Structure 1
Amino acid sequence: MSSKNSETRNRILDAAWALLEARQGQGVRMSDIAKQAGISRQAVYLHFSNRSELLIATTRYIDEVKAVDTRLELSRRAKTGVARIDAYIDAWSDYIPEIYGVAKALLAMKDSDEAAEMAWNDRMQAFRQGCEVAIEALDREGALAPEYTVQQATDILWTLLSVRNWEQFTIECGWSRKKYNERIKRLLHRILVVDKSQVDE
């Protein structure tokens, strides 16, 4: 891709990002994005064949701009499964406030907007994969509570760390980031990590 094409593509993605945050998912059509980017609608279609492709690309672009891979490096380098999960929680709780506007817009749109649903599901599956890798690390060292399979434990971690639950705890209940991190970690340790006292017995 030429530098000019790359620049235009990024302008489109930045425009979609800005509109999702500003309008909370209302009026984010291809024509709206084109207008925001200062280009024709036809130019948008030269880069993205449909709105679903554009919204998926936008959410992935946000992850790229926000350096998600770098944020997850501590979790990936953790020496134990528990440390990996804890670092994952830290990274995720730092990240959600930065993407909350877009996440809230997609959540509001997805039940009646197929393109928004596809974009949301794409990112949530990537998030789930990260949860699964952390649980697998816990399982490999024999620290996963025996009553759960890797799949079930992943379901629990993925659900407890969901944007909706973060919203409920931090916005509705008023928890600070520190309180959220500490209590979610404590809860997940109790649920997912093997009780060593029982093993010793």
Structure 2
Amino acid sequence: MTDPQNARGRRTVIALLAATRHIIENDGMPALTMAAVAERAGVTRRAVYLHFASRTDLVTALYRSFAESENLAESLQVVWDAPDAVSGLRAWAAHLVRINLRVLAVLRALEQAQHTDPDAAALWRITQRNWLESSRRVVERLAREGTLAPHLTVDTATDLLWALMSLDLLDRLAHQRHWSNKRLTDQLTATYIAAFVAPS
């Protein structure tokens, strides 16, 4: 039998993370305070501190929750399990559109606040490190299989692929130009293949 107190605690945590995400997405990192989260979640500030000792803990928990709520590991596994390097590059484009568009508002808020907010800066550094490591993994497979464009080194291709993970690009095409996810995925894939894959 489920412990009612534990179940209530889990519901409170879910509500706090949802409130945190709402504030970041709609008002930005400067508006994120423990009091604002408590008000948005409909709980007391004491209830917030029972689950999260600090704002840093709260933001970090939200960031980590994306791995589960957005099925990040499963989405990335499709890239790593692709039958060949070019298929992996195609899967990488689909992964970026599928995942980053869902969390775009939070990522943009972190990016914009990184110079003034230590919590945002720490999480933005983690994001960039993860993106760079994943980009290198995709490129190194292209190189191993002999399909990396001959004018590119692994380092150069890694940097370029990482740079093309631009939030501005996703925001402009998806939200300002109203591209569908399929169109965006198809065009990113075509761009990546033209830029990174050796001609047949």
Task: Give the conservation status (yes or no) of the 8 Å contact 2:89–2:193.
Answer: no
Residue matched to 1:199:
none
Task: Give the conservation status (yes or no) of the 8 Å contact 1:75–1:85.
Answer: yes
Residue matched to 2:187:
183
- Match for residue 23 of structure 1 among 16, 22, 27: 27
Equivalent AA in structure 1 for residue 158 of structure 2: T
Task: Give the conservation status (yes or no) of the 8 Å contact 2:79–2:88.
Answer: yes
| Percent identity for Structure 1 against Structure 2 | 26
Task: Give the conservation status (yes or no) of the 8 Å contact 2:85–2:145.
Answer: yes
Superposition map of 1:101-112 within 5 A:
101-112=105-116
- Match for residue 48 of structure 1 among 45, 52, 55: 52
Equivalent AA in structure 2 for residue 118 of structure 1: A
The alpha carbon displacement at 1:21 in A equals 2.2
Give unmatched runs, 5+ long, in structure 1: 197-201
Q: Distance between the aligned counterparts of 1:163 and 1:91, measured in 2?
A: 14
CA gap of 1:37–1:93, structure 2 versus 1, over 3 A, is: same
TM-score (norm 1): 0.82
Task: Give the conservation status (yes or no) of the 8 Å contact 2:85–2:138.
Answer: yes
Residue matched to 1:169:
173
Give unmatched runs, 5+ long, in structure 2: 1-5
Which secondary structure state, in structure 1, belongs to the residue aligned with residue 184 of structure 2? helix
Give the aligned length: 195
Q: Distance between the aligned counterparts of 1:177 and 1:65, measured in 2?
A: 19
Q: Distance between the aligned counterparts of 1:133 and 1:70, measured in 2?
A: 16
Q: Distance between the aligned counterparts of 1:44 and 1:178, measured in 2?
A: 40
The alpha carbon displacement at 1:77 in A equals 1.3
- For the pair 1:151 / 2:143, whether they are aligned, the reply is no
Residue matched to 2:101:
97
The alpha carbon displacement at 1:42 in A equals 4.3
- Deviation per CA, 1:136-181: give whole Å up to 9, x if none: 2212212122333323212111211221221133333444333322
Q: Distance between the aligned counterparts of 1:65 and 1:33, measured in 2?
A: 20
Equivalent AA in structure 2 for residue 179 of structure 1: R
- Deviation per CA, 1:67-106: give whole Å up to 9, x if none: 1112233222101111011111112212233212222332
Residue matched to 1:65:
69
The alpha carbon displacement at 1:7 in A equals 4.3
Task: Give the conservation status (yes or no) of the 8 Å contact 1:11–1:37.
Answer: yes
Residue matched to 2:3:
none
Q: Distance between the aligned counterparts of 2:15 and 2:26, measured in 1?
A: 16
